[in-house]
Amino acid sequence: MDSMRTPQRAGIAGFYRGLGANIGRACVLNATKMGVYDISKGQVADATGWDRKDPRTVFMSSVMSGFCMTITVSPWDMIRTKLMNQPTDAKLYDGFVDCLVKTVQEGGVLSLWRGFIPIWARFAPTATIQLLTIETLYSTFGYAQI
């Protein structure tokens, strides 16, 4: 198990490689999910005549949110993964910006979205289940919906 050797090779700090990119990714992911979800909910309701609380509106808005999450988070995922997987004995990148620049130089800007379809296949159902669940719980317990 490589995780058992990490403290020996890189100390406790080795467990925190890529933490900054992970935090940035989480911020971008959640801001995109909730922002797109709220805006698309209004647009879906206006375009279809469905109520904002209608499960069809929630479903369609969640799928749109998952798609937009994939667009905004894929570059962060790429950089985070490269930072976290770099060898402990031979540092390949000096941080987020260095990794981003080297990645774009090696593979072009579109390389940041490599793996888009599998990421979307993960995000779309996850966002849909999360948002349908939270809306149902809000409704069940009498809270205002998103």
**pLDDT tens digits for 31-47?**
999 999 999 999 999 99
Task: Give the integer Cα–Cα distance in Å for 145 and 16.
Answer: 37
Identify whether the C-beta of residue 124 lies closer than 8 Å to the C-beta of residue 61: no
* Mean pLDDT for the stretch of residues 99-118: 96
- 3-class SS at 83? helix
* Mean pLDDT for the stretch of residues 126-141: 92
At 74 the pLDDT is 95
> With 90 as the cut, is the pLDDT of residue 126 above it?
yes
Q: What is the mean pLDDT of the chain?
A: 89
> With 80 as the cut, is the pLDDT of residue 13 above it?
no
The whole model's pTM is what?
Answer: 0.81
Residue of higher predicted confidence among 3 and 46 = 46
Residues in the chain: 146
Closest of 81, 121, 87 to residue 103, by C-alpha: 81
At 6 the pLDDT is 58
One-letter amino acid for residue 116 of the chain: F
Residue of higher predicted confidence among 1 and 85 = 85
